[in-house]
Structure formats: structure tokens, C-alpha cells
Chain A
Amino acid sequence: MSVILQLLNVLPAALLAGVSAGGQYALIALGYTMVYGILRLINFAHGDIFTVAGFVMFYAVTAMPVYLAIPVTILLTVLLGFTVERLAYKPLRSAPRMSVMISAIGVSYLLQNLMWYITGGQPQQYPVIPWISDKIQIFGQETKRVTVITPLLTVALILLLLVLIKRTKLGLAMRAASRDFETARLMGVKINSVISMTFVIGSFLAAVGSFLFFSNYSTVSPTVGTMPGLKAFVAAVFGGIGSIPGAVVGGFLIGICENLIRAMGYSTFSDAFTFALLILVLCLKPTGLFGEKLEEKV
């Protein structure tokens, strides 16, 4: 009984935090899911690209005003995503899937070690972005404005993304590539530029995610992106990797669940619960909530 009472007491705050965290997971998860949809590659380096975006912003504001630093950060992050794809994934296009995945793990390893080397591992205070870092009152809880903006912005960006995929020529090419790589190439889809665009969009979303994430949590350190990256990846698998609505639903579900568990005082198990939930879903629906059925070709 007391547990329920306690839960009711902290419910609004936990929900608010959960929705906000969920929005961030969803933004990162989109990067995973889009790449997977086309390349069938788990891009392990995505979480690190997200962290790099945080550091770039930190260093950028020391050299220029914030309104300039934001586009510069986005640009550099996108460039990084593009470069990683060209250098580490493109040469392996015809290699077995395992090799590409190992390459992704290698890139993640490299990016992390580079960050340690360059930043010295000291946790850094993320710069204050005006307006979104302001404090506001909502449901009797004091929080930063970014907490409320995150889910809204996430939904807006996803709608934009869906329009891009359903209505534009690029989107058509992406859908074709994700359905059948070889046929799409035969039909004249420039597969390499489509893949590059996917990485550009994914990195763009990671950069936006990093503004929201670090404005909320305000500390950048080289490994800070690992756990959100892993959670976002779980979210993507949860929703059925390759499915955009799936990633979004998965992100929000995981964000809300783990915050509720923490509010109930079981924070030791919050990560374990996330994974247990994932395994349960996979056992019931082996390709995630919205995933396509795997075809077995003989």
C-alpha cells in the first residue's frame, strides 16, 4: 500500500523525466534504425558520434557565440558521420555483415580513445544554451525548459522525417534500398549517396539529440554517450529495428519505464529491467514490436 502511495506521490515527476529521457532515446534510436534499415548494420559508433557532438559544442562555444556554435556543431557532427561511413563502412560493402559490424565496434573504440586523448578525460560542463536551459514550473515541478521541449521537438522531427521518407525522391530511394539493395541498384538508385544521406540524417539527429541531452544533464565526458547509446539501441530493437515508428515508441517506452522503476526505489534494477523487457518482447515477437517478419530463403 505504502509503495502505491509513494508511487502516486512521485508519479508526475517520474513521468515528466521519463518522457524527456524517452524523447532523447528516440532521437538517437532513429540513427540506429535508419542505418539498420538500409545496411542491416548495427552502427555501434552512433553513441560515440553523439558524445563527440557534445564535446564539439563545448569547444565551439569557447571560440564563438552560441548561435554560431550550434550550426557549427551540427555541421561537424554530420561531417563526422559522413566520414565514418566513407572510411570504415563503404570499403566493406561486399564483405560479410559480421565484418561491417566489427568495423563499427572498431570505430567506436577509436572514437572513445581519441576523446580520452584529446580531452584528457576531465568531465566538462556543457555550455548553457539560452532559453532552453531556463527553469520553468510544470505540474508543480521545477524543471528546465528543455525537458518539455524534448518530446515535442522529437515528435516534430520525426514527422518531418516521415514526410521526407514518404514524399521525396530521396525517401523513395531509401525505401527501395532498404527493401532490396541489389534491385534498387539495378533500377538506377545511386546507392552510395543514399547511404551517405542516411548517415548525414542520422548524425544530424544525434547532434540535435546531444543539444537536448546535454542541456538537461550538462556534463560531457568521453563515456557519457555509451549508456544512452546502448539504451537507444535497445529501444530500436524493441520497436523492431528498421522501423521508424518502432524506434520512437521504443524510446518513449524505455524512458518512461526506467524512470518509474527508479521512482519506486528499485534503481539497482532499472537497467536490468530494460534488458529483461527487451528479451521478453523478443521472445514473444522475435523481430520487435513493429519489425518486419524475417524471410527465410532456401
Chain B
Amino acid sequence: MKKFLAMALSAVMVLGLLAGCNNGGKDTPDNEGGEKVIKVGVYEPSSGNNGAGGKKEVLGAEYAHSQVPTVTIGDEEYKVELVIVDNQSENDKGVSAAQQLVAEGVAVVLGSYGSGVSMAAAPTFEEAKVAAIGCSCTNPGVTLGNPYYFRVCYLDPFQGSVLANLAKDEFNAETAYVFTELGDDYSEGLGQYFSLECDRLGIQVVADKNPAGNTDMSGFVNAAKSANADVIFAPTSTTVASLLIDQAASAGIPIIAGDTWDDAVILQAAAKSGADVYFSTFYDEGASQAAADFMSGFKAWLNANSDKLANNGGTDTVSAVSALGYDAYMVAIEAIKAAGSTDSEAIKNALAYVRYSGVTGDVIFDEEGDVDKDIIFIKGVDTAKGEFYSVKEQGLS
């Protein structure tokens, strides 16, 4: 019996391998039903800790795809096909997800939400000579030393410094309580740059870290109170943010945070508890016509499709990561046009020269593959109305 089972399972395994071959073989031709197809990979988490955020980034790319479903290469029109894989927010699962995209033969990749998974996948993309365009991975390490990684958002050193300036300008802060997530490179990196700039500006910093999985924030809030902090700086994931906002509301200390907080989760939490919340973000619908058009178009698209709305967390609040997903897709299309080829290497080379005015500002890559930006949008939560409002555009002093 056991022998039979072992044999059967081995057979299944071999069949699986073969099935994999067939599957791979079937998808390879660029020609489906007489139509030329170019594949764009989307490397994002749709499960795991960043699943909710990742799905919103995918939505941005999908919306952009619905707007621009074809691209002209040379004289021929190619249909763009999005290939979406789930990296499960984990570095070790991300590698095979990235490899899956390479196996599908994508010409260029968008993503990911979360810097860690992006860094994990970078060598895979480099080896396959496929360029990746990061949407909201703000850690410097994503592009540093990875020639095939580009990104359309600003970097943490800049973001952290700007937020420290915000604390100084807007709140006259003398003491800042910096609260980061232990073991999270995004959170701790941003905290680090914020603290450095605080030193320069003469703001005293008291710092602490939240161990993974902890849900009790009262201790940290009390510590912030007893340190007489004027602001709490909390660059955390939305899950931790939601916990913190609720428990910090009664302390009456304004909370400022980084880009991940531009999310419906924060809106709900702040509106429920009445906390004073500010965060930096990538775009503002009032900043340009393109941004305003994106906002209204994206909302209408979400509301027209219940599946998409569910992936957006059931609300039509537009997250900044969706805007970045949109821009990343558009930049990819520009690069494909400029390259005039479906060859991934040519597209990578073309990316360096792409100039594109997007929803989140102008995209011009520097030699590291990053976008140079000098202004960050600051938004706050209007707890009475339950919506975000623009506070200001903050730069460095």
C-alpha cells in the first residue's frame, strides 16, 4: 500500500513537472490568435503582511492597463498583457515568484510594495536581464548596486529629512518620539534618517521599537507622554499604525508618519478615534491636472467593478501606492515605445532615458535608477469629515 502510494506520488510529481513544461511552452509565443502580445510582470504581495497594500498597487497598474491596453512597437501594435504573481510579502517566497515572471517571459516588471521583497528579487531579475520598476519601495538598497532596478518614488533619506523638517516647521517640535517596527528595514531606515535630520535641526529624539506581533501600544504612548514629546514619528505598517492611532488618540500628541499611511485603514482608524494624524505621500490630487484626472478616473473604475473595489479594501479611497502603480506602468510603456522592441535588455537601456510627467510628478531616472524629487506632499486626516486633506508641500530647509 505504502509502496503504491510512494509510486503514485512520484508519478504525480513527474506529471507535475511535465505539466509545468507544457504550461510554460504554451505561453511562450508572442503571437496569440494573430495578435502580437508583450507581457508586463507585476511582482506584488497579495497575501502576507503587506498583502493589502500590494493589492492596491496592483490596482493602479490594472487601471493604467485598462487606459492603455496596447503599445506600438515599430509599426506594429502589441497587446499588453499583465502577468501578476504573489510574492507573499516574504523574501524566500519572493524568489520563486520573481522566477515565475521570468519563466512567463515578461519584458519588464513592476513592483513591489515593500523594500525587502524587492531586494530579494533583484538578483533574479538581473540574471534574466529584465528591468524592474519599483513603485513604493523607498529603501535606498533597492536600486543601490542593482543596475536592473528602477523606481518611481522618492527615497527614505529624503523622506525622513523632510518629515523632520515638517516636525520643526509645523509643530515647533523640541522633542520627537520615534517609534519604529523592530526587524522591519523600511520602518527602521526611515526612523534612522528622521533622527539624523532631527539632530541637525536640534530636535531631541527619544526612540523605541515595537517587537513583531505586539499589539499593546499603551506602553509606548505613555513613554512618549512622559518624555514630553511634541510629535510622535511612527513610520509603520498599516496594521501597527491602526493599533497605535487608536491607543495614542487620548494622549493628544500629533502623529506623523511616512508614505505607507496614505491608506484607507489609517482614515478609518483616525476617524474612529479622533487622533491628529499627518503623513507624507507621493501625490496630491490638487497638484496637477494629471493627478486630478487619475483620482476621478480611478474612483469611477473602482466603483464600476466590485472585485476591484474589494481588492481596494471595500472603499473607493485612493491610496498613493495605486498612483505609483499607475505611473510605473506608464513609465514601462514609455520605455517599451522608446526601445522599439520587446527585448527586455533594450527596454532596460531605454528606461534610463525615459522622461514622463506622471500623476506623482516627473519621472527622470538618475544613474542609480532613482527619481530625483525635491518636494513631498503632506496630508492630514480630517476626523470630522472622515477624509484626507492636503496640508502643504514640504521641502528641505
* A residues adjacent to B (C-beta < 8 A): 6, 9-10, 13-14, 17, 21, 113, 116-117, 120-123, 125, 128, 135, 141-143, 213, 216-219, 221, 223-224, 226-228, 230, 259, 262-263, 265, 267-268, 270-271
Contact = CB atoms under 8 A, between A and B. Distances in A.
Nearest to A228: B215
A263 B223 contact: yes
Interface in B240-255: 242-243, 246-247, 250
Contact of B52 (A10, A122, A128, A259): A122
B209 A268 contact: yes
A227 B182 contact: no
A150 to B, nearest CB: 12
B212 A227 contact: yes
A267 B269 contact: no
B384 to A, nearest CB: 17
A116 B314 CA distance: 15
Interface stretch (B43-51, B157-165, B294-302, B369-377): B43-51
Given A121-B52, A262-B219, A218 B211 contact: no
Contact of B265 (A10, A122, A224, A230): A122
B381 to A, nearest CB: 14
Nearest to A265: B208
B216 interface: yes
Given A121-B47, A263-B223, A219 B242 contact: yes
21 contacts: A14-B219, A120-B52, A121-B47, A121-B49, A122-B314, A125-B265, A141-B222, A217-B216, A217-B217, A217-B246, A219-B246, A224-B239, A259-B219, A262-B220, A262-B223, A263-B223, A267-B214, A268-B209, A270-B214, A271-B213, A271-B214
A271 B216 CA distance: 13
B223 A17 contact: no
State the main secondary structure of chain B at its contact with A.
Answer: helix
B211 A268 contact: yes
B216 A21 contact: yes
Contacts of B100: none
A41 B300 CA distance: 52
A10 B51 contact: no
B323 to A, nearest CB: 19
Q: 4 closest pairs, A vs B, by CB?
A: A227-B213, A121-B51, A262-B219, A122-B52
A159 B238 CA distance: 39
Interface of B: 46-49, 51-52, 55, 182, 208-220, 222-223, 226, 238-239, 242-243, 246-247, 250, 265, 268-269, 272-273, 310-311, 313-314
Contacts of A216: 216
A210 to B, nearest CB: 12
A213 B272 CA distance: 17
Nearest to A17: B218
B209 A123 contact: no
Contacts of B226: 6, 9-10
Contact of B216 (A17, A122, A125, A221): A17
A120 B242 contact: no
Contact of A135 (B46, B218, B250, B314): B250
Contacts of B51: 116, 120-121
Contact of A221 (B211, B223, B239, B273): B239
A73 B79 CA distance: 49
Given A21-B216, A121-B52, A217-B246, 4 more contacts: A13-B222, A121-B47, A219-B239, A267-B182
Nearest to B214: A227
Contacts of A125: 242, 265, 268-269, 272
A218 B240 CA distance: 11
Nearest to A261: B219
B48 A217 contact: no
Given A14-B222, A217-B243, A218-B243, A123 B238 contact: yes
Contacts of A223: 49, 213
A272 to B, nearest CB: 8
B380 to A, nearest CB: 19
Residue in A17, A217, A219, A259 with the greatest tally of chain B CB atoms within 10 Å: A219
A282 to B, nearest CB: 22
Contacts of A141: 222
Nearest to B89: A121
A218 B246 contact: yes
A270 B268 CA distance: 30
A267 B242 contact: no
Given A17-B216, A224-B215, A268-B211, A121 B48 contact: yes
Contacts of B49: 121, 223
B379 to A, nearest CB: 19
A122 B265 CA distance: 8
Contacts of A9: 226
Contacts of B269: 125, 218-219
A143 B247 CA distance: 9
Contacts of A121: 46-49, 51-52, 55
Contacts of B208: 262, 265, 267
Given A116-B47, A267-B209, A218 B218 contact: no
Contacts of B310: 120
Residue in A6, A10, A221 with the greatest tally of chain B CB atoms within 10 Å: A221
Contacts of A17: 216, 218-219
A117 B238 CA distance: 18
B302 to A, nearest CB: 14
Nearest to B265: A123
A122 B219 contact: no
Contact of A265 (B212, B223, B239, B247): B223
A189 to B, nearest CB: 35
B211 A271 contact: yes
A218 B216 contact: no
A3 to B, nearest CB: 13
A223 B88 CA distance: 13
